């Protein structure tokens, strides 16, 4: 058998594993950004309120990247889907929280 036809056993290990780590990281960042306005008054306002603008985009990116990771892991029985599932859950929590906050603010402005 020629060397071109031999299978390298390390080649399979060299492939990146689809774990959903990006989804988990983005979802965590979105949830942390939700809590930034409750930081102490000694923290500058730029650090307290600027991250709030990124809650919705980070949540959407977390859900999309988690769904992509879960779809790619569909046929792999040994894949651990926990990180991707947690990222989708955290992203969904961030999206729902942002939408509820926006709707509540609009409702309060309408009823002034």
pLDDT tens figures, 36-72: 999 999 999 998 999 999 999 999 999 999 999 999 8
pLDDT for 1? 53
What is the longest distance spanned by two Cα atoms in the chain?
Answer: 82
pLDDT for 103? 96
Examine the pLDDT at 24 and tell me if it is beyond 90: yes
Q: Which domain holds residue 28?
A: 18-110
104 inside domain:
yes
8 inside domain:
no
Q: How many domains does the chain have?
A: 1
Q: What DSSP string runs through 4-59? A: TTPPPHHHHHHSPP---HHHHHHHHHHHHHHTGGGS-TTS-HHHHHGGGGGHHHHH
Q: At what angle do helices 82-110 and 55-72 cross, to 10 degrees?
A: 150
Here the tokens at position 57 are 């985009």
10 inside domain:
no
The Cβ of residue 33 has, within 10 Å, a number of other Cβ atoms equal to: 21
2 inside domain:
no
pLDDT for 56? 95
9 inside domain:
no
28 inside domain:
yes
């Amino acid at each position: 058998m020629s060397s071109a036809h031999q299978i390298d056993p390390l080649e399979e290990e060299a492939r990146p594993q689809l774990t959903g780590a990006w989804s988990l990281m983005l979802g965590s960042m979105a949830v942390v950004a939700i809590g930034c306005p409750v930081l102490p008054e000694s923290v500058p306002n730029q650090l307290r309120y600027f991250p709030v603008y990124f809650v919705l985009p980070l949540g959407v990116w977390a859900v999309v990247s988690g769904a992509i990771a879960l779809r790619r892991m569909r046929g792999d029985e040994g894949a651990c889907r926990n990180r991707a599932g947690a990222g989708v859950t955290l992203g969904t929590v961030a999206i729902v929280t942002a939408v509820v906050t926006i709707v509540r603010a609009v409702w309060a402005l309408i009823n002034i």
